Amino acid sequence: MLSPALLLLGLAVAPPSAAPRVHSPDVEARLGYLVGDWIIQGLSSRTFRQKCAWYSGRSFVVCTFQDQRDGTVGETVFGYSELQRRFTYHRFDSKGRSVYQQGFPSGIYGIVFADERLEPDGSARIQTTINLEDEGLHYTQYRSVQGRTWQRTADFLYVPAVQTRSRRKRSR
Residues 130-142 pLDDT 10s: 999 999 999 999 9
DSSP-derived secondary structure for 53-122 = EE-GGG--EEEEEEETTTTEEEEEEEEEETTTTEEEEEEEETTS-EEEEEEEEETTTEEEEEEEEEETTE
* Angstrom distance (rounded) from CA 6 to CA 13: 11
Domains of the chain (ranges; CATH) run 21-160 (2.40.128.20)
CB contact at 8 A, 114 and 128:
yes
* Angstrom distance (rounded) from CA 11 to CA 63: 32
Residues 87-122 pLDDT 10s: 999 999 999 999 999 999 999 899 999 999 999 999
CB contact at 8 A, 53 and 60:
no
* Rounded alpha-carbon distances, angstroms, from residue 106 to 19, 138, 156: 29, 12, 17
Residues 46-83 pLDDT 10s: 999 999 999 999 999 999 999 999 999 999 999 999 99
